[in-house]
Structure 1
Amino acid sequence: MAVNVETLDKLERKITLTLSADQIKSEVDSRLKRLARTVKADGFRPGKVPMSVVNQRYGYQVQYEVLNDKVGEAFNKAASEAQLRVAGAPSITEKEGAPANDGEIAFEATFEVYPDVKIGDLSNAEVERVNAEVSEAAIDKTVDILRKQRRTFSQRPADEAATDGDRVTIDFEGKIDGVPFEGGTAQGFQFILGEGRMLEAFEKGVAGMKTGESKTFPLTFPEDYQGKDVAGKEADFLVTLTKVEQQNLPEVNEEFAKSLGIAEGSVEALRADIKKNLEREVKFRVLARNKSAVMEALVKVAELDLPKALVQGEVERLIEGARADLQQRGIKDADKAPIPAELFQEQAERRVRLGLVVAELVKSNELQAKPEQVKAHIEELAQSYERPEEVVRWYFSEPQRLAEAEAVVLENNVTEFVLARAKVTDKTLSFDELMAQ
C-alpha cells in the first residue's frame, strides 16, 4: 500500500500510521501472560499470581511498551516503503480526532529527511596548498632540545651573577600599594632564566643578581594577565636569590647518540633519525593543514539544507564533550554545568554541513577507504613508536580504533580528489612556521 508523505517544510515530513487495536490488545495480553510466569506478589506463589493483579500492576507499562514497539515498526516500514532517508528520530503523537477506521489507532509521525546535496564545480574551488621541508636548522634545534632534556646543573660560586640559562632559586614577595596579594609570595621558587616561564620584566629584575643578594624592583602586570585581580596593576617585588646553578649540556657525540637509542652510535645516524622523525611529523602537519583548506573550500561550493535534528544532536555531543573536558580539569559538578547551546550552534552547523558534503562526494566518486590504504596508514603511524608491530595489532584489535583510521584515510582520499580538480595555489612554509600552526 502506498505511503502518503506530507511535506511540511524543506526537509520536514509527516506521515500517518494506523495500528490495529485488536493486534495491540493481543500483544499486550501475550506479554502479560509471559510476565505472569515470573512475577512475584505477596500471598501468591511464583507463577500463580492472578492475571487481574498482573494487569493492575503492569498493564499500563506493558501497553506503553507495545505501542512504542509497534509504532516504531510501523514507522520504519512506512519510511522504507516510501524510500525516505530519515534524519534523526521522529516525533510521534496520537492523531487527534476519530480514528481512520473502527478498530484502528492513528498516529502522526513528524520527522526530517536527509537533504539533496549539490556540490558545485570543483574547478571553481580555491585552495591554498602548503608544503614544507626539514632543514638542517630544524635538526639542529631538535638536537638542542634533546640536549636540554638531558642537562644537569651545578652551583655557581657566590660571586658569579645569574645569567640566561641558569637555574635560580628565589624567595619573593609582591605588594600592590604596599599590600601583599594572593599568589605574589613564594619560598624556594625555581625557574630557568631566559626560558620565558616568568614575565619578562620579572626575569630582567632577577638577571644579574648574585647568591645571597636581595633586591626590590617594580613590575607592571599586562592588561591581559591571567590573574584578573592584578592585571594592569603595578607591583613591587622584594626578591632574595638563594642559589644560582649553571646548566651543563651534554656533548653531541657517540655517547649522546647511544643514550638516545641510536645503536650505531654515530652523530650522523642520530641526525638521520631525527630528520626521519621530523619528516614524518611535517608530512602529517602538512596533510592536516591542506585537508582543512580543502574542507573549507568544499563547504563554500556546496548547496544544501541542514536537518535541525542532526544539528541539535551535534550540539548535544559538543556540550557533553565540553563537560567531559571540565571534568578532566577537576571542575566540581562539571556534568551538571549549565552550558548554553548557542555557544556551539555555529560549530555544530558547520560539522553537520561538512559531514553531509563529504559523504555525498565519497558516495558519488567511490572514495571509500580501501583496506590496503588503511593498513598502510596504520603502519606509517606505528613507525614513530618503539614497537611498531604492537601498535599495528592494537589498531586492528579494536573496531572503534580501526574505524577512526578508516575515517582519516577517507578524508585523505577526499583531499587528494579535490586538490586534483581545484584552483590550487602552492605556498612553501618554513619548518618553524608549520610547527607554530
Structure 2
Amino acid sequence: MQVTETLKDGLKRGYTITVTAAELEAKVNEKLAEAQPQIEMKGFRKGKVPMPLLKKQFGERLMGESMQETIDGAMSSHFEETGDRPAMQPQVKMTSEDWKPGDDVTVEMTYEALPEIPETDLKAIKLEKLVVEPADAEITEALEKLAATAQTYTDRRKGSKAKEGDQVIIDFVGKLGDEPFEGGSAEDYPLVLGSDSFIPGFEDQLVGAKAEDEVTVTVTFPENYGAENLKGKEATFDVTVKAVKAPKSAEIDDDLAKQFGAEDLEALKGQVAERLKAEFSGAARAVMKRALLDALDEAVSFEVPPSLLEAEAGQIAHQLYHEEHPDDHGHDHGAIEPTEEHLKLAERRVRLGLLLAEIGRKAEVSVSDNEMTQAVLAQARQFPGQERQFFEYVRQNQALQQQIRAPLFEDKVVDYVFELADVTEKPVSKDELQAAVEKLEEE
C-alpha cells in the first residue's frame, strides 16, 4: 500500500492511496481462512469446504469489505502519522471507474486540516465580574409582580362601565346569520378585557358596557382560524353582561407567601432575593463571557478552514435574512450570498469555536451522559405529550445530539477558563448591569 501527497495548499490536503491487487487478495484469503472452520455447505462437512469454492461463493462480497477496511486503515494510519485532524469528513473517491478483480485500487482523498492552534496563557486574561446585590426596592417590585399574578376581581359599583383590565362575567351566543354555531355559546364566562383571549375585536366592543347590558358584538373570524366552517366568516354574538369586576392585587403578606409555597413573607422575600441573584448572575456571566471571547479573539490568530468559514457565513446570512423577513417562513428564497460583514463574523465564530474546542480537548473537558439527559429533558418539555417521541428522535439523530452537546461543552470550557483567568469582582447596580447586557445585544 502506498500513500502519495498530491496537494498541500494552506490547510487543503490531497493524497492518493494505492492498494495492490496482491494485498487485497491476501486480505480476502485471510478472511476466508478465519471463516472456513464455521462454514457448512451441502456435500461437505463443517469446516471442510474447499477454499476455491468459498472464494467463488463469498469472494466478491469479501473483496468489497477488504477494500473498505484497507482504505479506512490507511486513512487512520495517515492521520496518526501526520497528526492531521480533518475539519470535515474527508472526500474519498476511486480514480478507476473500470476497476475489475485483479487490478490495483487507487483512491483520491482530499480534506482540509484543522490548523495548528497556538498555546494561550489563560492565566494572563483579565476579566471583570459584575456583581449585583438585590436592593430592597427590587425585591419589593418582584413581590408586587407576584401579587399581581395572584390578583382577584371584585364587583365594581353598580352602573360602572367596564374598562380594559376589568373582568366581565358574560353569557353569549354566537351566530352565523341567524343560526347559532357549535361551540359559540357559554354562560357565566369570566373574560378579562384586553387579554386578547377572544377573537380580535370582541373584547374591544365590551369596553364601556355595564352590568345587565345586552350587547351585540360583530367580528370576523381570521382566515387561519382552527374551525374550517368559521374561517374568514363574519359572526355576531348576543352578549349579556352579568357583572363588571375590577382587578385587585393580592396583599403582600404571609397569605401571599403561602400561595407560592413559602412559610411566611420573610421566607418568600428570601426566595425572591435568591431568584434575583440567579438572574443577575446569569446576566453578568453573559457579559463576562463576551469579554472573554473578545480577549481570546485579540490574543490568538490562525488560519481557519475555508469550508467551515463558508458554512458558518452561509448560516449567518440565512438566519439574518429570516430575521429581516419574518413573514418568509419557507426556504425557497434562492441563494443568499454572504456579505463581507457576514464573513468577518463567521471567521471570528469559527476561530473562537476551534480555540475553545482545543482548550477543552487539552483540559479533557467532557459532557456527561447525565448533563446530556438533562439538556434533552429541557428541550422535550417544549413538546408536551410527545416527550417520549422527542427522546427517541434525539437518540436516533447524531446531528441533533451534537447540536445539543456543543453549547454544553462550550459553557463548560468557558467556566474552565474563568477559573484560570484573573477575575476581579466589580459591584454594580441593576441598571448598570442592564446597560452592559443591552450593549451586548447592540453589537
Secondary structure of residue in 2 paired with 1:64: helix
CA-CA distance at 1:71 after TM superposition: 0.8
| Code of the aligned partner of 1:269 | A
TM-score normalised per structure 1: 0.59
CA distance in 1, matches of 2:51, 2:313: 46
CA-CA distance at 1:49 after TM superposition: 6.2
CA-CA distance at 1:243 after TM superposition: 5.0
1:262-411 superposed matches below 5 A: 262-263=262-263, 265=264, 267-292=265-290, 295=293, 304-308=303-307, 354-360=349-355, 368=363, 407-411=410-414
Q: Does the aligned pair in 2 maintain the 1:6–1:15 contact within 8 Å?
A: yes
Unaligned runs of 5+ in 2: 226-231, 319-329, 372-401
Structure 1 residues 411-420 or 270-279, which shifts more? 411-420
CA distance in 1, matches of 2:87, 2:37: 40
User: CA 1:194/1:315 → structure 2, altered by over 3 Å: closer, same or farther?
Assistant: same
Q: Provide, for residues 207-239 of structure 1, a one-character-per-residue CA deviation record: whole Å limited to 9, x for no partner.
A: 2323553435678999xx987xxxxx9978646
Q: Provide, for residues 390-435 of structure 1, a one-character-per-residue CA deviation record: whole Å limited to 9, x for no partner.
A: xxxxxxxxxx9999766313224557989979xxxx982559x87x
Percent of pairs with identical residues: 20
CA distance in 2, matches of 1:205, 1:119: 68
Find 1:428's aligned residue among 422, 429, 432.
432
Q: Does the aligned pair in 1 maintain the 2:151–2:250 contact within 8 Å?
A: yes
Q: Provide, for residues 25-45 of structure 1, a one-character-per-residue CA deviation record: whole Å limited to 9, x for no partner.
A: 222123234445556778888
CA distance in 1, matches of 2:274, 2:166: 29
Q: Does the aligned pair in 2 maintain the 1:361–1:414 contact within 8 Å?
A: no
User: CA 1:32/1:200 → structure 2, altered by over 3 Å: closer, same or farther?
Assistant: same
Q: Does the aligned pair in 2 maintain the 1:147–1:249 contact within 8 Å?
A: yes
1:193-208 superposed matches below 5 A: 193-195=193-195, 197=197, 202-208=202-208
Secondary structure of residue in 2 paired with 1:107: strand
CA distance in 2, matches of 1:409, 1:248: 46
CA distance in 1, matches of 2:119, 2:297: 9
CA-CA distance at 1:363 after TM superposition: 5.1
CA distance in 2, matches of 1:8, 1:88: 16
Structure 1 residues 57-66 or 346-355, which shifts more? 346-355
User: CA 1:53/1:3 → structure 2, altered by over 3 Å: closer, same or farther?
Assistant: closer
Larger relative contact order (Cα-Cα within 8 Å, sequence gap ≥ 6): 1
CA-CA distance at 1:20 after TM superposition: 3.8
User: CA 1:91/1:370 → structure 2, altered by over 3 Å: closer, same or farther?
Assistant: closer
User: CA 1:199/1:340 → structure 2, altered by over 3 Å: closer, same or farther?
Assistant: same
| Code of the aligned partner of 1:67 | M
Q: Does the aligned pair in 1 maintain the 2:302–2:351 contact within 8 Å?
A: no
| Code of the aligned partner of 1:305 | V
CA-CA distance at 1:200 after TM superposition: 8.4
Q: Does the aligned pair in 1 maintain the 2:166–2:193 contact within 8 Å?
A: yes
User: CA 1:56/1:298 → structure 2, altered by over 3 Å: closer, same or farther?
Assistant: same
Q: Does the aligned pair in 1 maintain the 2:20–2:104 contact within 8 Å?
A: yes
- Cα RMSD over matched residues? 6.0
Secondary structure of residue in 2 paired with 1:88: coil
CA distance in 2, matches of 1:42, 1:157: 100
CA distance in 2, matches of 1:27, 1:354: 45
| Code of the aligned partner of 1:5 | E
Counterpart in the other structure of 1:166: 167
Secondary structure of residue in 1 paired with 2:88: strand
Counterpart in the other structure of 2:253: 253
Q: Does the aligned pair in 1 maintain the 2:11–2:113 contact within 8 Å?
A: yes
Secondary structure of residue in 2 paired with 1:6: strand
Q: Does the aligned pair in 1 maintain the 2:284–2:433 contact within 8 Å?
A: no
TM-score normalised per structure 2: 0.58
Counterpart in the other structure of 2:109: 109
CA-CA distance at 1:275 after TM superposition: 1.4
| Code of the aligned partner of 1:428 | E
Counterpart in the other structure of 1:333: none
Unaligned runs of 5+ in 1: 228-232, 320-336, 378-399
Q: Provide, for residues 267-296 of structure 1, a one-character-per-residue CA deviation record: whole Å limited to 9, x for no partner.
A: 233223201211111211232255356547
User: CA 1:61/1:2 → structure 2, altered by over 3 Å: closer, same or farther?
Assistant: closer
CA-CA distance at 1:72 after TM superposition: 1.2
CA distance in 2, matches of 1:36, 1:242: 90
Structure 1 residues 20-29 or 68-77, which shifts more? 20-29
User: CA 1:340/1:312 → structure 2, altered by over 3 Å: closer, same or farther?
Assistant: farther
